[in-house]
Structures are given as structure tokens and as C-alpha cells.
Amino acid sequence: MKSDTPEKVLMENINSPGRPIRVDADKYRAMRDAILAVLPAASPGLTVTETKARLLPLLPDSLFPGGAKAGWWLKGVQLDLEAKRLIKREETKPLRLHRL
């Protein structure tokens, strides 16, 4: 029997260790895959603005119609991927990100 309740996953935050939040699994996975697809593997990486511009076309319109809420999801998944040590931030202004 299939539930109508959307699947959830735990999203961590490097700034709040040990306090994950439950989020929609489909949106999380779509954003995670898009972030990892656009970020380069080496420094200096991309700014958050550059990252968002490059990943928006990769997001399914069914989950992010017209890019709706993409900024919130980008930040949340960015912090989660940092906590999981899959991406790293460079302490630059503006902040830059790259894969590890």
C-alpha cells in the first residue's frame, strides 16, 4: 500500500551539528544532484550566485516551478553537503564553493 505522504530525508547543517531537519526527499535529491553537477572539483570554485544560475536549468520544473524556493533549497543542501564533507567553502568574499 503506497502512502500519499512524501518521502523525507534528514538534512544536516554544518552550522548546527546534531540538529538535522526532515525535508522532502525528491526536492533534496534534485538539488543535491544539481549542486554536485555544477560545482568544480577544485578551488576557487563558484560563488553561490554562479552556482544558482548554473543549477536552475537542471532542476525539474515539477519540483521547482519557475525556480520557486530554489534559493532556500540551495542554501540548505549546501550546508548539508558541507556537513557531509562533499563540498567545501573557500573563505573568500563572496563565498565560493567546490566539490571535494
Q: What is the CATH number of the domain that holds 80?
A: 1.10.10
| Rounded Cα distance, 2 and 32, in Å | 25
Joined together, the cell numbers standing for residue 92 give 573568500
pLDDT digits (tens, 9 = 90+) for 4-20: 778 999 999 999 999 99
Q: What is the pTM of this model?
A: 0.92
Q: In this structure, are strands 96-99 and 87-90 parallel, antiparallel, or unpaired? A: antiparallel
Q: Is residue 2 part of a domain?
A: no
| Rounded Cα distance, 88 and 21, in Å | 21
Contact 7, 53 (CB under 8 A): no
In total, how many domains does the chain have? Answer: 1
pLDDT digits (tens, 9 = 90+) for 22-53: 999 999 999 999 999 999 999 999 999 999 99
Q: Is residue 13 part of a domain?
A: no
Q: Is residue 5 part of a domain?
A: no
